[in-house]
Amino acid sequence: MSFNAMFNRLQGQPESYERKAKYRFGRTLGAGTYGIVREADGPDGKVAIKIILKKNVKGNERMVWDELDMLQRLKHPHIVRFVDSFESKDKYYIVTELATGGELFDRICEQGKFTEKDASQTIKQVLGAVDFLHHNNIVHRDLKPENLLYLTKDPHSDLVLADFGIAKMLDTKDEVLTTMAGSFGYAAPEVMLKKGHGKAVDMWSMGVITYTLLCGYSPFRSENLQDLIDECSNGTIVFHERYWRDVSPDGKDFIMKLLQPTPEDRWTSEQAMKHPWLSGETATDHNLLPEIKAYMAKARLRRGIELVKLTNRIEALKMAEDDPENPDFADAQQEQTPEQKAVAAAAGASGKAKLSKAMKSAIFREVVLAKVREMKEEEQTLKIKEEVEKEAKRKSFTG
């Protein structure tokens, strides 16, 4: 037994904790309910390490073991690859490959052009991963653009599905799950209604993602749960002429096959994989993000990203407050945002009590700034729309 192993045993650390020494931890990539995700350098390159506080999953440890079991089984080119796992006295560590190419929608905005053909092939990659999961009796339950990542910056990089934190492995192919899951705007009606759900929830989410890819906005606009349930349950999907006139009939048909309110009427992953739209032959070369549409799509995406970042800041601050001496979380503060640094500075001399007050102040400031940006973007959008409409009228008059 090495000296380090002996020392760890004396400290009451599990045997697997020795593997932590293989990784050099870097910046924080995100934060959530149960812990954080950090970048790290490993023996074979950069990785992402999910760090889960055991106290946050006490009595719910099965969730961690289920995620580990699933990740080790999932070997697919469009699913993030499992690398390693270990634990300490107070934390679980799950190591996966690091996708450095950015989120799906970020990449689209950077390109400035995204055709229907591009969308069909993007969805084909994601659906291939979902079909693989479903054939292995696994439901992801949290499909959304933020969980679709490019492996590298290369223009031809693979898109991979990530975050299996609430995924479930079914005991039988027809097993019904009853716990709440999914993200607002992407969760299927049966999840929100707590009726029990299965693989079909992933297909609903795929429908929402596809719709958004093809026009830059969500098919559902409601901002509270009951209104969203009503909107999703009535079976009406609107394809606004202004944004959808150049999208192929097959593209719209593919969406309608997935956004069926009744799970039994919704196409399965196996059926969807055979849809003609995914061949790319019927999809058009029409650019989906020109002028106003591009601006509106980017504005919506920026607001979504800002909200995610705000949530992450809140969670990171909460964890710093709960466990200030924790080295994993303390090290993460080296890559703080200016807002986090300001909060830390405000709390420096007076400890935990002041930190809570400063945290609330920082959060309030971020919300106000995000709202101001949103109002400015809406004003600019209206201005651009008016200019385009005037130009269209002028052309029709002179033509």
Q: What DSSP letter does each residue of 76-122 carry, written as one string?
A: -TTBPPEEEEEE-SSEEEEEEE---S-BHHHHHHHHS--BHHHHHHH
Residues 273 and 179 in one domain: yes
Q: Three-class SS of residue 339?
A: helix
Shared domain for 84 and 115, answered yes or no, is: no
Taking 90 as the threshold, does the pLDDT of residue 3 lie above it? no
Provide the pLDDT for residue 148.
93
Residue 16 lies in a domain: yes
- Position 26 scores a pLDDT of 92
Cα gap 332→340, rounded to integer Å? 11
Identify which has the larger pLDDT, 243 or 354. Answer: 243
* 179, 269: one domain: yes
For residues 246-263, give the mean pLDDT: 96
Answer yes or no: are the C-beta atoms of 223 and 143 closer than 8 Å.
no
Nearest Cα neighbor of 184 from 152, 138, 231 is 231
Domain that holds residue 111: 104-289
Please report whether residue 2 resides in a domain: no
202-226 pLDDT per residue, tens: 999 999 999 988 887 889 888 788 8
Q: Which pLDDT score, from 0 to 100, does residue 286 have?
A: 83
Q: Is residue 91 domain-shared with residue 216, that is, in the same domain?
A: no
In this structure, what is the dihedral angle of CA atoms 128, 67, 72, 316, given to the nearest 10 degrees? Answer: 90
The catalytic residue among 106, 131, 142, 163 is 142
pLDDT band at residue 114, thresholds of 50, 70 and 90?
confident
142 is an active site residue: yes
Asked whether the predicted pLDDT for residue 354 surpasses 50, the reply is no
In terms of domains, do 15 and 111 share one?
no
In a domain, residue 4? The reply is: no
Average pLDDT, the chain: 78
Note whether 239 and 313 are same-domain residues. Answer: no
The answer to whether residues 145 and 185 belong to one domain is yes
SS3 state of residue 239: coil
Q: What is the Cα–Cα distance from 381 to 52, expressed in whole angstroms?
A: 42
pLDDT at res. 392: 63
Q: How do residues 280-310 score in pLDDT, each as one tens digit?
A: 899 998 887 663 344 445 555 555 655 665 5
3-state secondary structure of 293: helix
Last residue of a domain, one of 97, 127, 159: 97
Residue (of 240, 254, 243) closest to 297 by Cα position: 243
Residue range 67-87: mean pLDDT, rounded: 92
3 belongs to a structural domain: no
Say yes or no: 270 and 131 in one domain: yes
Token readout for 144 is 């959304």
Asked, for residue 182, whether it belongs to a domain, the answer is yes
Number of helices (H) and strands (E), helices first, in the chain?
14, 9
Give the integer Cα–Cα distance in Å for 188 and 168.
Answer: 16
Strongest mean pLDDT among 6-15, 218-227, 257-266: 257-266
Q: What is the pLDDT of residue 375?
A: 59
Instruction: Among 44, 69, 97, identify where a domain stops.
Output: 97
Instruction: Domain count for the chain, please give it.
Output: 3
CATH code assigned at 72: 3.30.200.20
In the predicted structure, residue 64 carries a pLDDT above the cut 80? yes
Residue 192 lies in a domain: yes
Domain assignment present for 364: yes
For the entire predicted model, the pTM comes to: 0.73
Residue in 128, 74, 158, 160 with CA at minimum distance from that of residue 274: 128
390 assigned to a ligand binding site: no
- 18 and 135 fall within a common domain: no
